[in-house]
Chains A and B, each alone.
Chain A
Amino acid sequence: MLLEITGLCSHYGRIRALDGVDLSVGDSELVAIVGANGAGKTTLLRTISGVQPASDGSIRFRGADITRTPPAKRVRLGIAQVPEGRQMFAPMSVEDNLILGGFTRPRHEIDSSLETVYGLFPRLKERRRQPAGTLSGGEQQMLAIARALMAKPDLLLMDEPSMGLAPRIVERIFDTIRELRSTGVTMLLVEQNAFAALSVADRGYVLESGRIVLAGRAAELLADDRVKAAYLGL
């Protein structure tokens, strides 16, 4: 297993946001996490990246315990995140945002990686001198994904990449996720849009109030009556 999480708990002060989460992601898998607002999805990704401390349980990455590893080190180990709300370096140019995405990479590999992500998002290449904060929402989301890809991660965490975007752009983002998947990038995808997420994923987990309440093949979850009722609006 690339990522193995057992009994993970996390708190905001006295609020328990994660309550014993068990989850795993295998090499080249695309795993989706669905759950209602406030279920703890963002907290889970923040804890995996290390920007939110775990209060109990463990996170193992390629077999090594990283539960207490500082966030910067986890990026070097191969974990990148597309955070909720895009989180641009707003006054800096698109290209600087991308270069910083490759902060942990050897200097000589940056140019070829830039070409790769520009190939994926030609729009970003056109705008590369523009401050990231002046991009449209969809363009910022593309930049957030491209910036995370610059780290050439072994595991890509994505927190609601489709949030607040027009259907056409959402489709474009999911196309990108499929493209990445076909190149073998391992992904853990958090989505409000449970149908879209489970349609591209191999496996899925349903998170409720900080606990995993359902897990299985994505196709099975899509067919599950409880999932249909609670998350697919069927």
Chain B
Amino acid sequence: MAEFLQFLFSGLTVGAIYALIALGFSLIYNASHLINFAQGEFVMIGGMATVFLAAAGIELPLAALLAVLLAVAVAIAIERLGIAPAKGASVVGLIIVTIGASILIRGLAGIVWDRNFHSLPAISGEEPLVVMGATLLPQSLWIFGVTGLTALLLWFFFAKTLWGKAMMAAAYNPLAAQLVGIDTRRVVLVSFALAGALGALAGVLITPLAPTHFQVGVMLGLKGFAAAIVGGLGSGLGAIVGGLVIGIAEAMAAGYLASAYKDAVAFVIILLFLVLWPSGLFGLRGIERV
């Protein structure tokens, strides 16, 4: 039981991180029907920029904030320079643009920063709490709290505010959105900015538990993508549930089978869902096509 609980805690922790990344995928998918394969790089920027800004003497909270802003700036640059000018390009063409952007960002990170692993101190120390025989790190509590709060804020924004509703409207019916005066290009830009912030936030939070590196975005991006597919691309609740499902499945596979299987789990789950259940747990495809 203690062992199971231990795996569960670790699965929920990493799952919450995947959820934040998946939310970024879903935001951009909703606004533009794109899969943004640079999403993982925002996570990397969050961790690496915080590390290097902190090393330059900037206090940690400020360094983290600046890192998030840097990721937002990069996300905006991708949209302005890569997506917006390519009017009329196919979705596949634009997805390739995001793949190109991710390779470029990774390359630059390896040059501007370095190719070593780096960690950050945990926000509230490393003293674990013991819960029914299993240990829980305070950093996990921070991750649960920040992810939960972020999800709540996003829910409020999309369900209750006019701008949030306008962004959903642009996702459901871009033509009608334009005809009521919603600037759909601005919606895409805002989605990229938000996705950048969410990714970087995930990077800041996970670095104390899993060291960062200029290539860390590849795997984290794929896990977040898997989470978005499981939950149903475009669904906020789906992104959260999908993240937790992938995180827990990975932790259980690593714990009860062998840690070598850990990364394979996400891929097997992606394949299963793409083949058997492409709309995901909370996918809206059924209602959307009325």
Contact = CB atoms under 8 A, between A and B. Distances in A.
11 contacts: A71-B178, A71-B181, A90-B290, A91-B288, A92-B165, A100-B162, A100-B182, A101-B180, A103-B180, A134-B290, A151-B180
The residue among A50, A80, A89, A131 with the most chain B CB atoms within 10 A of its own CB is A89
A133 interface: yes
B166 to A, nearest CB: 6
Give the 10 A-B residue pairs with the shortest CB-CB distance, closest first. Answer: A75-B181, A133-B290, A104-B181, A87-B176, A90-B290, A72-B183, A71-B178, A89-B169, A91-B287, A89-B172
B173 interface: yes
B181 A103 contact: yes
Interface residues of B, number: 22
B287 A133 contact: yes
Interface in B160-190: 162, 165-166, 168-169, 172-173, 175-184
Contacts of B290: 88, 90, 133-134
Contacts of B177: 89, 100
B2 interface: no
A90 B285 CA distance: 11
Nearest to A131: B287
Given A96-B165, A99-B165, A133-B287, A70 B183 contact: yes
A76 interface: yes
Contacts of B180: 75, 80, 100-101, 103-104, 147-148, 150-151
Interface in A164-188: none
Interface residues of A, number: 31
B284 interface: yes
Given A92-B165, A131-B287, A133-B287, A51 B179 contact: yes
Interface in A124-147: 131, 133-134, 147
Contacts of A89: 168-169, 172-173, 176-177
A197 B66 CA distance: 60
Interface of B: 162, 165-166, 168-169, 172-173, 175-184, 284, 287-290
Given A76-B181, A133-B287, A88 B173 contact: yes
A107 interface: yes
A105 to B, nearest CB: 9
B208 to A, nearest CB: 39
A113 interface: no
Nearest to A71: B178
Contact of A92 (B172, B175, B183, B184): B172
Nearest to B287: A91
A67 interface: no
A72 B181 contact: yes
Contacts of A75: 179-181
Nearest to A135: B290
A81 interface: yes
A83 interface: yes
A53 to B, nearest CB: 10
B237 to A, nearest CB: 13
B221 to A, nearest CB: 28
Contacts of B287: 90-91, 131, 133
Nearest to A105: B181
Contacts of B183: 70, 72
Nearest to B170: A89
A79 B1 CA distance: 65
Nearest to A147: B180
A49 interface: yes
A83 B165 contact: no
Contacts of A90: 172-173, 287-290
Contacts of A100: 162, 165-166, 169, 177, 180, 182
A90 B168 CA distance: 11
